[in-house]
Amino acid sequence: MPKRAIHGLTNDELMEDARRSLPRGHGFARRVHRMAVLEGRFEPEALGLGAAACRAWRSEFSFELPEVVALETDDGPQGTTSKVVLRLYDGLEVEAVRIPMGRNRYTLCVSSQVGCKMGCGFCETGRMGLLRHLSTSEIISQLLVAKHRLGWPVRNIVFMGMGEALDNADNFFRALRVLNDPGGLAIAQERITICTVGHVQGIERLHQEGMKRLNLSISLNAAVDSLRSELMPINRRSDLRTLQRALACYRPRKNFALGVNYCLLPGLNDTRADARAIADFCKPLGRVLVNVIAYNPGSIPITRAPSEYEVEQFIGWLREEGLPVRQRVTKGRSVMAACGQLGNPSARVDRRSLRTLRV
Ligand code: SF4
């Protein structure tokens, strides 16, 4: 049986697993877990365990973090955005981004898959296709590397890196429990945001899981079916009405405000009529906050970046429609760390080398 990754488990789960599988030393499970996730170390010897118990721990459990293969930074008016490229055990690579939030606070944008099968037309990751899901421990590893190897003071987590988290639901929901685990990382649900392309089954599951204080945002990008289906193929499976129904049912708490992300694409989705369509879509959804994001042209641009005037004009139209709006400031564009830019060619192993690795 393969070794279980300590950081893919909650404190209670590790205790239970250790009790079942270790002949001795299982009473140290809580401390082993906390040492791993809070200090980034797996050293049962340092806890005073004897040689046989340490051997047993090492034969059943592992704690391996991915290697940092590149680190790039971009200084902007809001602070420094940093992108880290991590190499996984099979040679594939994922990216995580540290986003400055002011007052020395940072949000870590994490990946949930290597590549993505959703194929959104404006996204670099979508062009890779889906290479594989990340395991729970690989999702958590991004935070542990950020905290313990790079010393980043991470406050919030946003699932907006490579991949669609709700398409990797089992591993993703386990990762949420590990992040939120009061015996371990203890990251409050309020500090975690899930950004989805509009994965209806995933939104329904989110509802069933009953984690009521999480933040949710959707990537809308078009509020007219024909255009959205062109930009975001998932819309052909679940059209705007279906998505709207699922979101209208998702009211986890009284003061919940749904984030509606809208990437402004000049010449494609930036007219007065588009602003009206967004308002119509949002009407039955209760409290929303629309985030307008200026398009970041990647390696194969589908249009140009909008001017500041175009962004302001569109925001003005949304406000006329009565919507609360804010402009999401683009951070990290020069290092391809901005929205829709993760997964650039230098950060991935191509499919031929993947086959070689798997032989
Ligand atoms: S925008 Fe998100 S869901 Fe769409 S292709 Fe990119 S990573 Fe996947």
Q: What is the pLDDT of residues 26-46, one digit of tens each?
A: 999 999 999 999 999 999 999
Q: Is 263 in the pocket of ligand 1 (CB under 6 A)?
A: no
pLDDT at position 359: 23
pLDDT at position 224: 97
Q: How remote is the CA of residue 160 from the centroid of ligand 1, in Å?
A: 8
Pocket test for ligand 1, best of 109, 122, 123 (most atoms within 8 A of CB): 123
Q: Is 218 in the pocket of ligand 1 (CB under 6 A)?
A: no
The residue whose C-alpha atom lies closest to atom 4 belonging to ligand 1 is 120
Q: Is 125 in the pocket of ligand 1 (CB under 6 A)?
A: yes
Decide if 339 is catalytic. yes
Ligand 1 atom index nearest CA of 113: 7
Class of residue 267 by CB neighbours under 10 A (exposed 0-12, middle 13-18, buried 19+)? exposed
Pick the closest to residue 285 from 350, 241, 317 (CA basis).
241
Q: What is the pLDDT of residues 134-153, one digit of tens each?
A: 999 999 999 999 999 999 99
pLDDT at position 333: 59
Q: Is 163 in the pocket of ligand 1 (CB under 6 A)?
A: yes
Catalytic position from the list 109, 116, 120, 339: 339
Handedness of CA 280, 286, 289, 295 (dihedral sign): negative
**What is the rounded CA–CA span in Å between residue 248 and residue 117?**
26
Q: How remote is the CA of residue 340 from the centroid of ligand 1, in Å?
A: 7
Q: Is 120 in the pocket of ligand 1 (CB under 6 A)?
A: yes
Please state whether beta strands 325-328 and 288-294 pair in parallel, antiparallel, or not at all (unpaired): parallel
Paired tokens of 307: 């001017």
221-237 burial, b at 16+ Cβ within 10 Å, e below that, comes to bbbbeebbbebbbbbee
Q: Is 332 in the pocket of ligand 1 (CB under 6 A)?
A: no
The residue whose C-alpha atom lies closest to atom 5 belonging to ligand 1 is 126
- In which residue ranges of the chain is pLDDT below 50? 338, 344-359
Q: Give 68-74's long-range contacts (Cβ < 8 A, gap of 24+).
A: 68/145, 68/149, 68/150, 69/93, 70/346, 70/347, 71/150, 72/335, 72/337, 73/335, 74/331, 74/332, 74/333, 74/334, 74/335, 74/337
pLDDT at position 332: 58
Q: How many CB atoms lie within 10 A of CB 63?
A: 23
Please state whether beta strands 113-115 and 130-133 pair in parallel, antiparallel, or not at all (unpaired): antiparallel
pLDDT at position 331: 64
Concatenated DSSP letters of 255-277: T--EEEEEEE-TTTS-SHHHHHH
pLDDT at position 358: 26
Q: Is 126 in the pocket of ligand 1 (CB under 6 A)?
A: yes
pLDDT at position 79: 87
Ligand 1 atom index nearest CA of 116: 8
Q: Is 5 in the pocket of ligand 1 (CB under 6 A)?
A: no
Cβ atoms of 168 and 197 closer than 8 Å: no
149 three-class SS: helix
**What is the rounded CA–CA span in Å between residue 224 and residue 38?**
46
Q: How remote is the CA of residue 289 from the centroid of ligand 1, in Å?
A: 20
Half-sphere exposure of 98 (CA within 13 A, CB side): 27
pLDDT at position 336: 57
CA 343 to centroid of chain Cα atoms: 13
Q: Global pTM?
A: 0.91
Ligand 1 atom index nearest CA of 164: 3
Class of residue 356 by CB neighbours under 10 A (exposed 0-12, middle 13-18, buried 19+)? exposed
Q: Is 164 in the pocket of ligand 1 (CB under 6 A)?
A: yes
Name the E strands within 230-339: 258-264, 288-294, 325-328
Cβ atoms of 80 and 96 closer than 8 Å: no
Q: How remote is the CA of residue 298 from the centroid of ligand 1, in Å?
A: 13
Q: How remote is the CA of residue 28 from the centroid of ligand 1, in Å?
A: 41
Paired tokens of 140: 């958590």
